[in-house]
Amino acid sequence: MSFVRIIVAGCRRWIASIESCPPRSGLALLGLVIFLSLASGCATRDLHTTVPSRPFSFAADTFAFPNELVWVYFHDANGKWTANKREPRPDYCQHCFVVARTARQFFYAARFDTNLPVADEATYRRLVRKVVDTNPRKLRPPKDRIVIPGYPDLRTFSTAQERLLKSECGAAWESYFQRGHWRMIFPFSRSHQAATAEELLQAIQAHMAPVVHLARFPQLSINHAVLVIDGKEEPDLIQFTLYDPNYSDAPGALTYNKTNRTFTMPANTYFEGGRVDVYQVYHSWCY
């Protein structure tokens, strides 16, 4: 099978199985393949020029509601990891890239102010749209922050305004066209993953809250977006803490092993556990 046919076959599997994005037509596949061919030569350049004044907080800077799963994953009688469609279909699902991106947009571009009174729905809808329209790769200075009145943080705001946020933060289809998806189809060397681990640790130390794509291509055993919000370096490992959009109640974990230069993720309700390939998105002009 030619390289192009392998890529196209893999893309079809990706579109059919990704938890973050619903299946679409052949036109979407064609657009994806064209995009991959155009984007594959670009180089990375970090657009950050300033850094946040504080670290990302799971308790304050995350959404109170999760991105729900379309599939129920389990081991069958033969020990094979498999899935069935969830019935009834969840109301808010396949938005992991949208949730991860928007959480960082609020962290980078918004400011909550409890000294101002709670506003009406039309005001909040306008403000949320302004946040979603900001560049998730660039930090706004304090004087230019979008002020969200009446609430202390995103967690509290999303508890009170869940319906509005779900309707305004973005549609599931947007996850198809995140500009960095082209990178997933190319091999990830161990040196690349070592450099990524170091970059993530440096970003966390600078309070940057990097968004990463977790993938295995073409297996597609995982295809997901999370925020890396903390990291602890040990002699042989780096233990990263995640905001996983699929879980609103507690942080997740990602481990980098310095010896084999590999990231691993523990088993959860959508992943059997094991190796993942990791790269940053919402990060530079071609990611």
Say if residue 75 is exposed, middle or buried (CB neighbours under 10 Å; 0-12, 13-18, 19+).
exposed
DSSP-assigned beta bridge partners for residue 110: 146
Cα(8)–Cα(195) distance, rounded to whole angstroms? 29
Decide: 73 and 269 in contact? Cβ < 8 Å: yes
Strand 146-149 relative to strand 211-215: parallel, antiparallel, unpaired? Answer: unpaired
CA 145 to chain centre: 22
Q: For every one of its 287 residues, what pLDDT tens digit does the chain have, with 9 covering 90 and above?
A: 444 444 444 444 444 444 434 333 344 444 444 444 444 445 444 445 577 889 999 999 999 999 999 888 888 888 888 888 888 989 999 999 999 999 999 999 999 999 999 999 999 999 999 999 999 999 999 999 999 999 999 999 999 999 999 999 999 888 777 888 888 899 999 999 999 999 999 999 999 999 999 999 988 889 999 999 999 999 999 999 999 999 999 999 999 999 999 999 999 999 999 999 999 999 888 88
Asked if 169 and 132 count as a contact pair (C-beta separation under 8 A), the reply is yes
Query: What is the crossing angle of helices 26-39 and 3-17, to 10°?
Result: 130
Q: How many CB atoms lie within 10 A of CB 10?
A: 16
Overall pTM surpassing 0.85 (yes/no): no
Parallel, antiparallel or unpaired: strands 110-113 and 146-149: parallel
* Domain-wise residue ranges, the chain: 58-175
For residues 63 and 99, the answer to whether their CB atoms sit within 8 Å is yes
Q: Which of 136, 186, 134, 155 is nearest to 249 (CA)?
A: 155
How many other CB atoms sit within 10 Å of the CB of residue 24?
15
Residue 107, H or E segment: helix 96-109
